[in-house]
Amino acid sequence: MKYLKDFLNANADSEIFSLLECDSDELEILRHLTKSYINGVSSISVFDLLNAVFSPKDFEHLDKISKLKNLIDAGYLTQNFSFFKENKPKLSKLSMLYSEVELSEPFLVLLEEGKSINLMPVSEPYNDHLEYLKDQFLKIELYQKRLNNHSQNSISKLESKIQKIENIVENRLKISKIPLACEQIFKDNALSPKEQIIFLALLKEEYSGEFEALRDLNTLVSLVSKDEMERMKSRSLLEEGSNLLENGLIDYDEVLNAFGSVSRSFFINEDILQLIMHPQNSKKSKKLKLETLVKESEIFELIEPSSDLNDVVLNAGTKELLDNILKQGDKKVLNRLNSWGFKKAKSAMVKVIFYGSPGTGKTMSALSLAKSLKKQVLSFDCSKILSKYVGESEQNVRKIFDTYKEICTKSKSEPVLLLNEADQFLSTRVDASSGSDKMHNQMQNIFLEQIEKFEGVLIATTNFMQSLDHAFSRRFDYKIEFKKPDFKARLEIWQKVIPQNASFEESFSLEELAKYELSGAQIMLTLKNTALKVACSDNGIFTMREFENEIKRELNSAFGEDKRVGLL
């Protein structure tokens, strides 16, 4: 108990005083409380404490309330409210007079052992998101203490602790192997350090579920600001069009405060909150809900793309156009377009036609684009649209888009709408000389109307661009042609799809196979048929002859080629 005795006897040479780093008034408060503690009184009212330690003459003791606040913020004291009073933080210092304080456990350990309890997190990998949030919430508590502190010395200490925690969190993230939803949100939305603090402060409120201290606009702005000038600049972080609001991370309610004026109370949006609190269940439940809705609709096929654009062999021009579409999903690009008035959306909105010969990769590219946009695909077979009953085909067109909107709303997702083989929708309208022509034109008019109003990513594929109605051409943002691959592209496709662990004869040459003018789909079909034959053979070795036989069979049986047919 050497340090305890040194402290009570005010032994100035003891190292206990260098550990405490308190001024003379704060030391007197702590010494009085310590004496009361060893005499059997663990807590004391602030009013009685200040009157006992400082002179009540001319109310001088009221100036020392800030000293108590510093000791609470430093972790040496804990504040207890009356059992009959509402246990919530007060904004005024005077309200502390009717609360009680007592020595904290860390302070008692310091007096007993001469060393402080290390409350800083340890530098080891995060095992789950709760460990990560614990560190981040500790940092937010320090920001709160800095906000409520007016002693420059205490503020400097708090900022030093904040920096230490930030360094520890950064190091722990570097060595952690688990995905953390918060960090992914920060990255995806390019949040600045101040925006991250605001987001974490609101998240701490969601987890605590008790106080509303950190939801107020002015409180959040002050939390990330050090002076009045900085506060004025920081208000833009929570104004309309700000990153946090525009990206749908947070929202606010307008409430009537205690002073009779309307203020904003901020909160984290429910989808984002579920993503953080239940990182595994959120994605899984959303996927299951989407699958159920699609199954109930009975008109769409739900596709989970397995390859992205990096897996598709495309010519340079096509690749550039698809990359431009992909960039529309970038938050920075969206924010710029929104600010210029071109778009008002939180995700990519684009309508595209993929056209070209069969087997050139239109559908595969559509699925790969969706994968790169991190979206699932709702595919519709346009051959199902026609009906023999009058007016039903037109109703079916509306049903495609109405059902798509309904699925998006209920599942809270935005899958890509893929209209495969949409030739009958896109072909030129004709003079209505018959009932079927009138039906066809009416169906196309409705389709034009729905395309005009569509919001999201829509991809239509067709083999016949020549017959495209000009009205459709104007309503699609991109018309991308898919040509048959040249030698270089065919060689790249062969290199991508050929099994690397298979056995080949010595004279085997991909360059020779690439000389045959096959489409991408034909290359895949040829490979599958050849692989089946080789798998059934005795030695299981791929030969040029097997491939060439399958290639010739494919070329001879392909539809759409210029072949002479007649009688001998």
**Lookup result for tokens 């989808």:** 271
**218 and 334: one domain?**
no
State which amino acid sits at residue 470. H
| Domain edge (last residue) among 210, 242, 277 | 277
Among 187-201, 284-298, 522-536, the range scoring the smallest mean pLDDT is 284-298
**477 and 384: one domain?**
yes
Residue 564 lies in a domain: no
Is the pLDDT score of 136 beyond 90? yes
Bridge partners of 381, per DSSP, are: 420
The CATH number of whichever domain residue 522 belongs to comes to 1.10.8.60
Burial (0-12, 13-18, 19+ Cβ within 10 Å), 354:
buried
Q: What separation in angstroms does the CA of 526 have from each of 196, 516, 549, 553, 558?
A: 53, 11, 9, 9, 12
Among 94-103, 367-376, 557-566, the range scoring the smallest mean pLDDT is 557-566
Question: Strand 377-381 and strand 416-420: pairing?
Answer: parallel
Q: What does the pLDDT average to over 261-266?
A: 82
- Quote the DSSP letter at residue 58: G
Three-state secondary structure call for residue 567? coil
Please tell me the total number of residues recorded for the chain in this structure: 568
* 240, two tokens: 């309309």
C-beta separation of 242 from 236 below 8 A: yes
**183 and 69: one domain?**
no
**403 and 505: one domain?**
no
The CATH number of whichever domain residue 369 belongs to comes to 3.40.50.300
Residue 119 lies in a domain: no
**106 and 219: one domain?**
no
**426 and 402: one domain?**
yes
What pTM did the predictor assign?
0.55
**257 and 368: one domain?**
no
Residue 404 lies in a domain: yes
Q: Write down the pLDDT at residue 158.
A: 84
- Say how far apart CA 46 and CA 98 lie, in whole Å: 7
Q: Write down the pLDDT at residue 299.
A: 86
Q: Write down the pLDDT at residue 405.
A: 92
Residue 121 lies in a domain: no
**Lookup result for tokens 């085909």:** 393
| Domain edge (last residue) among 82, 113, 144 | 113
Q: What does the pLDDT average to over 333-357?
A: 77
Q: What is the 3-state secondary structure (H, E, C) of 472-503?
A: HHHHCCEEEEECCCCHHHHHHHHHHHCCCCCE
Question: Strand 457-462 and strand 478-482: pairing?
Answer: unpaired
**463 and 493: one domain?**
no
Is the pLDDT score of 558 beyond 60? yes
- Say how far apart CA 36 and CA 30 lie, in whole Å: 10
- Say how far apart CA 120 and CA 132 lie, in whole Å: 13
**92 and 221: one domain?**
no
Q: What does the pLDDT average to over 529-552?
A: 93
Q: Residue 473 contacts by C-beta under 8 Å, 6 or more apart in sequence?
A: 479
**232 and 366: one domain?**
no
- The residue that leads in pLDDT, 120 or 21, is 21
Q: Write down the pLDDT at residue 566.
A: 43
Q: Write down the pLDDT at residue 212.
A: 58
| 449-466: pLDDT as tens digits | 888 889 889 999 888 766
Is the pLDDT score of 374 beyond 60? yes
Q: Closest Cα partner for 523 from 499, 501, 490?
A: 490
- Say how far apart CA 370 and CA 376 lie, in whole Å: 6
- The residue that leads in pLDDT, 147 or 17, is 147
* 13, two tokens: 């040479």
| Domain edge (last residue) among 113, 139, 166 | 113
- The residue that leads in pLDDT, 438 or 251, is 251
**325 and 191: one domain?**
no
State which amino acid sits at residue 288. L
Residue 72 lies in a domain: yes
State which amino acid sits at residue 529. N
The CATH number of whichever domain residue 95 belongs to comes to 1.10.10
Report the number of distinct structural domains present in the chain. Answer: 4
Bridge partners of 465, per DSSP, are: none
Q: Write down the pLDDT at residue 292.
A: 85
Residue 69 lies in a domain: yes
**429 and 512: one domain?**
no
Q: What separation in angstroms does the CA of 400 have from each of 35, 396, 414, 424, 451?
A: 79, 6, 15, 15, 11
What domain range includes position 185? 129-277
Residue 168 lies in a domain: yes
Among 336-345, 404-413, 481-490, the range scoring the smallest mean pLDDT is 336-345
Residue 562 lies in a domain: no
DSSP secondary structure of 134-175: HHHHHHHHHHHHHHT---HHHHHHHHHHHHHHHHHHHHHHHH
- What are the helix and strand counts (H, E) for the chain? 26, 13
